[in-house]
A and B are shown apart, each in its own frame.
Chain A
C-alpha cells in the first residue's frame, strides 16, 4: 500500500516503503479518531495485555529491546526495571519535542493519539501505577487538541480511567501542556515543570527519575515514539519486532530529514539497515541534494550532535555505530547542508539556540553559551579578532573539557572520541553548544579566518 509519496493530511510525512510499526494509520485522514483506531486494531493490544501478568508485559518489552527514542536510546524495559518497590509511582510521557530538526512526536500525537494512549496504558499496567502525565509541548496546539479529544473519547469508551475495559484496573492519563522551553524536554526538567516549577534540570545522581522523580517518587519518563511502539510489540510479540532493524537496534525509527535535500520529510525507517547515503540519495527517501549540489555537512541527530561530513555517509543508521564515529542519532533529526552553506552562520544559528534555551542553572552553560554566541555574532558582523577562534574552542573546553568528539579527523591525527563528551554542567545542553563550534572550526577554520581577515577594533 505504500505510496512513496507525501501524505497531504500529515504534513511532512512520506509514506515510505518498508515496515510500519508506528505510522501504520497515517494514510487515513481520520486516523486520529477513536472509531478509525478501533477499526484498525486500536486498543487490541491493551485488551490482550490486561489478560497478562504485569510482569510478563514488562518481560516482553525487555525482550523486544525497545530503545528509547527521545535521544539517549536507553532500552525502555531495562529502565522500567530500575524502579524501586515504592508507591505511588508515575509515568511521564515526554512530548516536548523541541530539539532542532526533530519532527516526529508531533506527527504521532496529531495523527494517532490513541496509539500513544494505548502505549501509556500498557506501560502503567506493566509497572503497576495509576497515574500518567502526558506532557505535550506548549506550541503544539493541534496535538493538544487531538490528544484531549482522544482522551475524552477513550475515557468515555472505558479504555482509560476507572475499571478499564470492565476489569478492576484503574489508570488515569492526564494531559498537560508546556509553555515554551526546550530544556523541559530533559527528563528531570520535565519533572520540575510538572511540579509547577521553572524547568531546571536536577543533578543525576542523586535524582534519577526512576528512583526519585516526580514529587521525589519513582517516575518513568519515556518519549512519545518509544511508547507508541508498545501496542505493536504487545500485539505481535518481541520476536516479530526484532525481525525489523538490526540486532543492536531492533525496530524502526521515525527520522526527519530536513535542509538541502530534494524531498525532505519524515520517514519511518528500519534501524541499522539503511545508510545516510541511502537516505539522502535513495529514491525511496530524499532523492538527492537540492540542485544536485555537493554535500557540505550534515547533522545526524539534532542540534546537539557533532556534525558529520561526506566521509560518514556510509555509516548505517544505528546508534552504536554513529556513537563510535563521534556523534549521535539522538532524536532522529537529520539536517543536510549543501556546499552553498555558510558554516559560520550555520554554527551561530545552532549556538544561538542553546544560548537562548539555557535554563541558566549552571554557570558554564549560562555564561559560556551566551559568550560563544556573542563572539560568533561579532565575527559575522565583521568585528572578529584572530584570537576569537581559539577563544571559542577554549570556552568550549571549559563547558566540555577533554577531547571533544569530532567525527573522523584521522587525517589530522585525531581519533573520534565516542559520544557523549565530558561536561562541567548538570545536563548536556551546555556541552551541546560545543558541537557546532568544534565541528565547524575543525573542518572549516578557513571560513572563520576569512571572515576575520580584516580585524577591526572591537566596538566598545
Chain B
C-alpha cells in the first residue's frame, strides 16, 4: 500500500517534466505522496525513487531533512503552535501548555482518536499576529485559550470545511499547459535564447556583418 496512485503517477510525471533534472522533483513528489496518504510511507519513497531515478536512500535523505514530511501516520489535523520569539513574548508557550492539556498530548504526539497531532513549531511568519498557530498550514491569528478550545471543537465537529486533511497544501496547483509553456531547458543546453541574442547590443566589430 501507499505507493502513488495511478492518477498521482501521471501528475508526478508531469511535475518531473517541469524540472531540468528529475531529482529536482523530489520535494514536490514527496508532498504528493503525503497528500495521498497523510504521510510519506517507505513504499511511497521507493516509488518516488523509481520515478526519479535516484536511490531510496537518497529520497529518504531528502525527505528526512524537511520537517513537514511525516514518515508515520499523524492526526487528521496537524496543530502547529508557534513558540518562537514574537509568539513567546505574547503567550505562545502558555498557549502550547493549554493545548497540551486540552488535547492530552505532548508536542509530537497524536490524540487517540487520530484527530490531532500537536507540534511546537518555529516562526510561521505571522509574528505581528501573535500568538498564532496553523492547522494543516492554515493560520489562526491572535488566539487565546478560549479561541483554541473553540477551534478544536469546530474541527472535531467537522465545522471547518476550509481546512483539508493533513497532507494537502495548496488546493490549486500550477497547471503548465504544454501548448503555453516555453519549455524547460536542460542544464546541458548551452547558448542564449534567440530572443535575447536578437536584442543584445551588437559588439562594435560585428555590427556590419550582422
Chain A residues packing against B (C-beta within 8 Å): 11-12, 53-55, 85-88, 97-103, 105-106, 128-131, 137-142, 144-145, 147-149, 151-152, 155-156, 161-162, 167-172, 174-182, 193-200, 214-217, 256-260, 264-266, 299, 303, 333, 335, 337, 341, 345-346, 349-350, 353, 356-357, 359
Among A105, A142, A171, A196, find the residue whose CB has the most chain B CB atoms closer than 10 A. A196
In the bound complex, do residue B196 and residue A148 qualify as a contact, i.e. CB atoms below 8 Å apart?
no
With CB as the reference atom, state the residue of chain A lying closest to B170. Answer: A144
In the bound complex, do residue B66 and residue A174 qualify as a contact, i.e. CB atoms below 8 Å apart?
no
In the bound complex, do residue A55 and residue B89 qualify as a contact, i.e. CB atoms below 8 Å apart?
no
Chain B 123-144 interface mask (CB, 8 Å, partner A; 1/0):
1111111100010111101000
> CA A147 – CA B196 in complex, angstroms?
26
Contacts of A141 in B (CB 8 A): 136-138, 169-170
> CA A281 – CA B197 in complex, angstroms?
53
Contacts of B30 in A (CB 8 A): 179
> Quick one: which of B31, B126, B201 contacts A179, CB cutoff 8 A?
B31
Contacts of B200 in A (CB 8 A): 53-55, 128
With CB as the reference atom, state the residue of chain B lying closest to A151. Answer: B174
In the bound complex, do residue A12 and residue B128 qualify as a contact, i.e. CB atoms below 8 Å apart?
yes
> CA A175 – CA B124 in complex, angstroms?
20
In the bound complex, do residue B24 and residue A194 qualify as a contact, i.e. CB atoms below 8 Å apart?
yes
In the bound complex, do residue A180 and residue B67 qualify as a contact, i.e. CB atoms below 8 Å apart?
yes
Interface: B171 (CB within 8 A): yes
Add 18 more A-B contacts to A98-B122, A142-B138, A215-B20 (CB < 8 A): A87-B190, A87-B193, A98-B125, A99-B123, A103-B128, A128-B192, A139-B134, A162-B179, A168-B198, A177-B27, A179-B68, A215-B187, A258-B130, A303-B85, A335-B85, A335-B89, A357-B122, A359-B65
Q: Shortest beta-carbon distance, A302 to chain B, in Å?
A: 9
With CB as the reference atom, state the residue of chain B lying closest to A333. Answer: B127
In the bound complex, do residue B86 and residue A258 qualify as a contact, i.e. CB atoms below 8 Å apart?
yes
> CA A215 – CA B183 in complex, angstroms?
17
Q: List 18 A-B contacts (CB under 8 A).
A: A53-B200, A85-B192, A87-B189, A128-B200, A138-B137, A148-B170, A155-B177, A155-B181, A172-B181, A172-B184, A179-B31, A181-B67, A194-B24, A196-B54, A256-B128, A264-B128, A266-B128, A335-B86
By the criterion of a CB under 8 Å from any partner CB, how many residues of chain B are at the interface? 75
In the bound complex, do residue B195 and residue A169 qualify as a contact, i.e. CB atoms below 8 Å apart?
yes
In the bound complex, do residue B123 and residue A353 qualify as a contact, i.e. CB atoms below 8 Å apart?
yes
> Quick one: which of A55, A130, A303, A341 contacts B193, CB cutoff 8 A?
A130
In the bound complex, do residue A152 and residue B175 qualify as a contact, i.e. CB atoms below 8 Å apart?
yes
Contacts of B172 in A (CB 8 A): 145, 148-149, 152
Q: Shortest beta-carbon distance, B142 to chain A, in Å?
A: 9
Q: Shortest beta-carbon distance, B116 to chain A, in Å?
A: 18
> CA A128 – CA B90 in complex, angstroms?
47
In the bound complex, do residue A140 and residue B137 qualify as a contact, i.e. CB atoms below 8 Å apart?
yes
Q: Knowing A156-B180, A216-B187 are in contact, say whether A12-B126 is a contact too (CB < 8 A).
A: yes
Chain B residues packing against A (C-beta within 8 Å): 18-21, 23-28, 30-31, 52, 54, 61-62, 65-69, 80, 83-86, 88-90, 122-130, 134, 136-139, 141, 169-177, 179-187, 189-201
> CA A98 – CA B175 in complex, angstroms?
27
With CB as the reference atom, state the residue of chain B lying closest to A356. Answer: B122
In the bound complex, do residue A11 and residue B127 qualify as a contact, i.e. CB atoms below 8 Å apart?
no
In the bound complex, do residue A103 and residue B182 qualify as a contact, i.e. CB atoms below 8 Å apart?
no
Q: Knowing A180-B66, A350-B85 are in contact, say whether A256-B127 is a contact too (CB < 8 A).
A: yes
> CA A141 – CA B126 in complex, angstroms?
13
> CA A168 – CA B128 in complex, angstroms?
44
Q: Shortest beta-carbon distance, A435 to chain B, in Å?
A: 12
Contacts of A12 in B (CB 8 A): 126, 128-129, 141
In the bound complex, do residue A130 and residue B125 qualify as a contact, i.e. CB atoms below 8 Å apart?
no
Among B128, B137, B139, B194, find the residue whose CB has the most chain A CB atoms closer than 10 A. B128
Contacts of B67 in A (CB 8 A): 179-181
Q: Knowing A138-B169, A264-B128 are in contact, say whether A102-B123 is a contact too (CB < 8 A).
A: yes
Q: Knowing A145-B170, A174-B184, A349-B84 are in contact, say whether A139-B137 is a contact too (CB < 8 A).
A: yes
In the bound complex, do residue B127 and residue A258 qualify as a contact, i.e. CB atoms below 8 Å apart?
yes
In the bound complex, do residue B123 and residue A98 qualify as a contact, i.e. CB atoms below 8 Å apart?
yes
In the bound complex, do residue A130 and residue B18 qualify as a contact, i.e. CB atoms below 8 Å apart?
no
Q: Shortest beta-carbon distance, B99 to chain A, in Å?
A: 18
> CA A139 – CA B137 in complex, angstroms?
6
> CA A182 – CA B69 in complex, angstroms?
14
In the bound complex, do residue A198 and residue B62 qualify as a contact, i.e. CB atoms below 8 Å apart?
yes
In the bound complex, do residue B62 and residue A174 qualify as a contact, i.e. CB atoms below 8 Å apart?
no
> CA A22 – CA B81 in complex, angstroms?
30
In the bound complex, do residue A100 and residue B89 qualify as a contact, i.e. CB atoms below 8 Å apart?
no
In the bound complex, do residue A87 and residue B192 qualify as a contact, i.e. CB atoms below 8 Å apart?
yes
> CA A346 – CA B92 in complex, angstroms?
12
In the bound complex, do residue A148 and residue B174 qualify as a contact, i.e. CB atoms below 8 Å apart?
yes
Contacts of A179 in B (CB 8 A): 27, 30-31, 66-69
With CB as the reference atom, state the residue of chain A lying closest to B52. Answer: A196
